[in-house]
Amino acid sequence: MNLIVDTSSNYLHLILEDKGKIIQSEQGATHEKFQEFLLPRLDKMLTDAKVKLENIGEYSVVVGPGSFTGIRVGVTMAKAFLSVFKDKKVIQINLLELLILKLKSVCKGDFLVLIECTKSKFYAGIYKNQNISYEILIKEQLEDIKGEFENIFCYENLLVDGAKKVELTDQDYINYVSLKRKSKSYVSASEIEPIYMALSQAEEELLKRENKTGKK
């Protein structure tokens, strides 16, 4: 049995699945108040499914990119899970890779999928010439390369004129995890690595102050 947790955006997504079958799922807006929502929602889901935490053999967590706060919460929970149940397995979910794999099955040609980073920056998953790459794009860069893609998608929010909205279903998460399971892409607690791709606003401000004062 596998527990899938996505806290990378303002919407908490929990899925309990067993051998590709959805047992229970919970979703809801959190507005980044994950500490208030995550454990109660998880407890409700496990109670409804009549499943105990120790019965879960795998834990799959979205490690980014996305909300810094949300990613930290999900990663911390994964590490806590492994600290209690040391024999369990963890699968990391790259959100951009998940979106690209979903879109590859329905798109012909090259495409771009975007996740909001800040008001002027985007996490970008690029599928071009059958190759996958990841970048952070500012609005000006995006305008320069838009014409290179047959389709542009935005995750959750429509951020770009002419883009299409893409959402993830429970089955999308399960399909991704199944692929990782087949390739035995498991990690230990020390190997769980958040995908931030960018400095947080606080880190950017600190770096600016250090550059001004000449500190390193």
Domains and CATH numbers, the chain: 2-94+169-213 (3.30.420.40), 97-166 (3.30.420.200)
- The answer to whether 113 and 155 have CB atoms below 8 angstroms apart is yes
Q: Is beta strand 151-155 parallel, antiparallel or unpaired with respect to 111-116?
A: parallel
Which pTM was predicted? 0.89
Q: 10 Å Cβ neighbour count for 212?
A: 8
Q: What is the pLDDT of residue 108?
A: 87
Q: What is the pLDDT of residue 62?
A: 97
Of 141, 89, 92, 87, residue with least CA distance to 114: 141
- Write down the residue that tokens 């996958």 correspond to: 132
Q: What is the pLDDT of residue 38?
A: 85
Q: What is the pLDDT of residue 2?
A: 95
3-class secondary structure per residue, the chain: CEEEEECCCCEEEEEEEECCEEEEEEEEECCCCHHHHHHHHHHHHHHHHCCCHHHCCEEEEEEECCCHHHHHHHHHHHHHHHHHCCCCEEEEEEHHHHHHHHHHCCCCCCEEEEEECCCCEEEEEEEECCEEEEEEEEHHHHHHHHHHCCEEEEECCCCCCCCEEECCCHHHHHHHHHHHHHCCCEECHHHCCCCCCCCCHHHHHHHHHHHHHCCC
Q: What is the pLDDT of residue 206?
A: 53
Question: What b/e readout covers 123-133, taking b as 16+ CB neighbours within 10 angstroms?
Answer: bbbbbeeeeee
Which residues have a Cβ under 8 Å from the Cβ of 194 and sit 6 or more positions away?
63, 64, 71, 72, 75
What does the pLDDT profile of the chain (216 residues) look like in tens digits?
999 999 998 888 999 999 899 999 998 877 667 767 888 889 999 999 999 999 999 999 999 999 888 899 999 999 999 999 988 999 999 999 999 999 998 998 999 999 998 888 999 999 999 999 999 999 899 999 999 999 999 998 877 888 999 999 999 999 999 999 999 999 998 999 999 886 556 656 654 565 555 544
> Sheet of 11-18: strands edge to edge?
21-29, 11-18, 2-6, 58-64, 89-94, 186-187
CA–CA separation, 78 and 76 (whole Å): 5
Of 124, 123, 177, 184, residue with least CA distance to 148: 124
Q: What is the pLDDT of residue 216?
A: 44
